[in-house]
Amino acid sequence: MLLSVCVYTSLAAILFALGWHVWKREERLKAATGRALPFWSWEIIASILIFAVVAGARYHTGFDHAMYLHQYVSYQKYGFFTRDFEPLFMWVTQLMAGAHVHYFFYFAFWAGIEIMALYYALNKYKHLLPWVSLMLVLGPFYLHLMNTMRQGVVECFLPLLLVMLSNRKYLLFCGVILLLSLVHETALLLIVLCMVRFKWNSSVFRKCSVSLFLLATVVGSLPIWLELCRHLTYILMNSSVIQYGNEFSINEHHFSVAFGPVRMFVLCCQLIVLWLSKETLTLFYDNEWMQLIAITAVVFVVGTALMCNTTNFYQRPFELFGICFVVLMAATVSMLLKYDRKILAFIVIAINLMPLMINLVKATLWPSTSNLPTLYHFFFTH
């Protein structure tokens, strides 16, 4: 556990320091010359490399990560996969595995793509970089990205796709989505974002988002909702269109709704961020990109609250928008510090941190009850 805490906090601290340094350096440059820093500054390059190295050295972050590792090593040994992947993902995997590149570099490559896409979307909002990196690594999102990987790449591109939408670059938006669909086909679901073309009053947004969130939290815990999902399961399992039909199966244990400390902290963090969204959106007045970030963040919290007691496969479409919630959290903390509300900013950061710390304790003391390999293990120790 000590190793895990050291790795996660050190990574978060280093990324935070680099993000803070590049933000302040750009402010000084703008004050002196009126010019902004280019994206490829030494701080950004260092952040991408450090994030990639830590992710590449990570041995196991869940079932999907173990599956990718098995497929990669199997291709190196036998020259074929035991399952199908999207064309671009398969081509990259074949290229690296066929060249007998160690899987450390393979996982580091995809992690580097993820963080690069996220940071590029924040190029004009460098004041958010330190808080995004802090919230990402010390929250529940880092392990999710490292585990899902293919979908994680799509998720990290979403803030950049929203930049394209806010700048009316629709052809580029559609082109990037098509390219991402060659890594993970769920990217095609993001086409619907083209229809999001309206502005929210910040006060109305807070009322609507908080109301939807509370309603979804209650409904998602009701047996009648789980029964409806189970009927939908029968349809999906018998559909030849759904490749993973069996994974949508809802068993009786889902009707015993779990509500522990981790879930409580997650809900508290989401509620606070949504409640403060009025002030956050007011600070980003007339910024269409931040409005799109806020809307997609609400889709994430409402969808995952509604599906929290079903299966992971029901939650996956909503998890596409998780990174947008990370950005909204970072914007909230930045807003609180700007208005000198340091205690509340610290509370948001601390609540976001607690699920990871609790899972570390659970994985250490009761490893048989932990369904998420939270503890950090280096690949060369296995």
What is the model's pLDDT at position 255? Answer: 43
What is the model's pLDDT at position 192? Answer: 87
Give me 300's structure tokens.
Answer: 């994430």
| Arithmetic mean of pLDDT over the chain | 86
- Residue 175, phi-psi category: left (phi > 0), alpha (psi -120 to 50), beta (remainder): alpha
Residue ranges in 184-321 assigned as alpha helix (H): 202-219, 223-237, 261-275, 277-283, 288-307, 312-319
What type of residue is 314? Y
How far apart CA 129 and CA 216 sit, in angstroms, is 30
Q: Band of the pLDDT at 227, cuts 50, 70, 90? A: low
Residue 24 pLDDT > 60, yes or no? yes
Count Cα atoms within 13 angstroms, Cβ side, for 57: 16
What type of residue is 363? A
Q: Band of the pLDDT at 330, cuts 50, 70, 90? A: very high
Residue 232 pLDDT > 70, yes or no? no
Residue 269 pLDDT > 70, yes or no? yes
Higher pLDDT: 4 or 270? It is 270
Higher pLDDT: 33 or 364? It is 33
- Give 80-104 pLDDT, tens digit per residue: 888 888 999 999 999 999 999 999 9
Higher pLDDT: 234 or 151? It is 151
Residue 338 pLDDT > 50, yes or no? yes
What average pLDDT does range 181-196 have in this prediction?
Answer: 88
What average pLDDT does range 320-333 have in this prediction?
Answer: 95
Terminal CA-to-CA distance of the chain, rounded, Å? 17
Residue 33 pLDDT > 70, yes or no? yes
Helix-strand-coil percent breakdown of the chain, rounded to 5?
Answer: 75, 0, 25
How far apart CA 51 and CA 48 sit, in angstroms, is 5
Residue 245 pLDDT > 50, yes or no? no
The rounded percent of the chain whose pLDDT value lies above 70 is 86
Residue 243 pLDDT > 60, yes or no? no
Residue 152 pLDDT > 90, yes or no? yes
Q: Band of the pLDDT at 259, cuts 50, 70, 90? A: low
Count of CB atoms situated within 10 Å of the CB of 286: 8
How far apart CA 256 and CA 377 sit, in angstroms, is 32
Are 313 and 247 spatial neighbours (Cβ–Cβ below 8 Å)? yes
| Claim: this prediction has a pTM higher than 0.85 | yes
Count of CB atoms situated within 10 Å of the CB of 205: 20
